[in-house]
Amino acid sequence: MTAPLRLDVRRRAAGGEPATELLLDVPSHLEYVGPAVELIADQFRAPLPLSGSPGRPVAPGLRLLSPRRVRFNLRTALAEALANAIAYGNRQDPSRVVRVRVEVTVGAVHVHVTDEGAGFDPTAVPDPTLPERLEREDGRGLYVLRSLVDHVAFNEKGNSVCLTLLAG
């Protein structure tokens, strides 16, 4: 791993509602998955200040997930989405990046993970828990991801996924 990851934190008003946005570009190398996941998950672990400036209050939205949901659901689901985007979307092409955009609102966290690939058809992925597929090494990512968050939506092209975790 060479280039350091840089997280951009922005406050904005979404339809009058306060919201925080986290932006992160991740190089297309699988070694970045772990550090990128930790960088984002750290923003949800109270009482850390948002962008490292001491004394600055944490945005209320960033406390809305329970520690367990941050530790397990958010981290694992984000790792899955990033690994898929880097390996299958960008095919580990170093000239491409994966963009992560996290929108934190009062009621939910939306994590958008977008790659620069051609997209895929998520409905064509077989169920990895079928007896004949259980001993396969790969093919569980999407299933795990769907099991850990409240809602998963792909764009039409299939190169961007939005993971929604509701408050709680």
Site residues, other proteins (CB under 8 A): 30-34, 68, 71-72, 75-76, 79-80, 83, 87, 128-129, 134-138, 140-141, 143-144, 147
9/96 with CB nearer other proteins? 96
Q: Of 137 and 156, which CB lies nearer to other proteins in the complex structure?
A: 137
CA distance 28 to 96: 6
Output the smallest distance, CB 147 to other proteins, in A.
5
Place of tokens 């809602």: 151
> Helix or strand or coil: residue 68?
helix
- Shortest Å, Cβ 35 to other proteins: 9
Residue number with CB closer to other proteins (12 or 136): 136
Closest distance between other proteins and the C-beta of residue 89, in Å? 13
Minimum CB separation of residue 146 from other proteins in Å reads 10
What is the DSSP code (8-state) at residue 128?
T
CA angle 114, 48, 86 (to 5 degrees): 20
- Closest to other proteins by CB, 14 vs 30, is 30
Cα separation, 161 vs 168, whole angstroms: 22
DSSP 25: E
